[in-house]
Amino acid sequence: NAGVTQTPKFRVLKTGQSMTLLCAQDMNHEYMYWYRQDPGMGLRLIHYSVGEGTTAKGEVPDGYNVSRLKKQNFLLGLESAAPSQTSVYFCASGGGWAYTEAFFGQGTRLTVV
Amino acid sequence: DQQVKQNSPSLSVQEGRISILNCDYTNSMFDYFLWYKKYPAEGPTFLISISSIKDKNEDGRFTVFLNKSAKHLSLHIVPSQPGDSAVYFCAARFNDMRFGAGTRLTVKP
C-alpha cells in the first residue's frame, strides 16, 4: 500500500520556469491538500480539493494552480516560478468528513534560483 | 490570518518527564483538532485527535486536552522518550485543515 506518493522529490527551477508537482493516493480519499512548509511558518495550505473535479483556495494560493481531474491525483502547478516559492511542498489526502486525519506524502523540495 | 498558533518554537525535557505542547486557535467553527509528528525529511504523521465535543482524548502515552472556552488545546506526553524528539504540529479542521507553526521537542536521555 503506497499511501500518498509525490513526484518529484527534488527540483531546481530557474525564475520564470514552470513545473507541475504530482500527488497520487491509493486510499480512495475524497479530500486532498497541498501545503508548503517554510521555516518558522509551519504548514500553510495552498489549495485543496473535496472531490474529483473540485478545487478551492487555501491560505496562500497566489502563484499556484491545481487540478483534480481524477480522484486519485492532485496536481500543483507553478506557471512562472519565483524565488519566494522555494519551499518544501507536502501533499496530503484524507481528512474531511469521512476521515479524521490526513495522510501525508514524503514532500518535494523545490528551489527556485 | 493564522487561525492556529503554536507560540513555543521549541521545548526541551528530560527523559521520563512530562512534555506539554500547547496550541491556540481563533476559529470557533473548527470541529476536530489533531496533532501530527514530523521527523526531518519525512512527511508529518498523525498522532492523536480530539473532537470539539470532547475535552480529553487519551492514547497510550499521549493525551490531548481541549478547552473550548479558552480556544486552547494541549498535548501531554508521559513519560517522554528520546524517540519522541521531533517537530509537533497542531492542526484544526473545518472545511479544510489548518496547521500551526510547530514546536520542536527535544527529549534528553
How confident is the prediction along chain B (109 residues), in pLDDT tens digits per residue?
Answer: 679 999 999 999 999 999 999 999 999 999 899 999 999 989 999 999 999 999 999 999 999 999 999 999 999 999 999 999 999 999 998 888 899 999 999 999 9
Any chain A CB within 8 A of the CB of B99? yes
Q: Say how far residue A31 (Cα) sits from the centre of its chain.
A: 12
Q: What is the overall mean pLDDT for chain B?
A: 95
**Contact (CB, 8 A) for A95 and A33:** yes
Strand A108-112 versus strand A10-13 pairing type: parallel
d(CA A72, CA A51): 10
Per-residue pLDDT of B85-97, as tens digits, reads 999 999 998 888 8
A67 three-class SS: strand
Provide the grid cell at B67. 478547552
Residue B4, judged by CB atoms within 10 A of its CB (0-12, 13-18, 19+), counts as buried
What are the tens digits of pLDDT across the range A30-87?
Answer: 999 999 999 888 899 999 999 999 999 999 999 999 999 999 999 999 999 999 999 9
Binary contact (A42, B6; C-beta < 8 A): yes
Chain B residues within 8 A of A88 when measuring between CB atoms: none
DSSP state of A96: T
Per-residue model confidence (pLDDT) at position A1: 58
pLDDT higher than 80, residue A109: yes
**CA–CA separation, A59 and A41 (whole Å):** 12
One-character DSSP codes across A49-63: ESSTT--EE-SS-TT
* Region at A26 (left for phi over 0; alpha for psi -120 to 50; beta for the rest): alpha
Is B33 within 8 Å of B89 (Cβ atoms)?
no
CB B39 within 8 A of CB B88: no
Query: What is the predicted pLDDT for the residue at B1?
Result: 66
Residues B76 and B65 sit within 8 Å (Cβ to Cβ): yes
pLDDT attached to residue A2 = 72
Predicted pLDDT at A99: 65
**Backbone phi, then psi, for A104, in 5-degree steps?**
-105, 150
CB pairs under 8 A between A and B: 58
**Residue with cell string 494560493:** A61
Are B97 and A106 an interchain contact pair (Cβ–Cβ within 8 Å)?
no
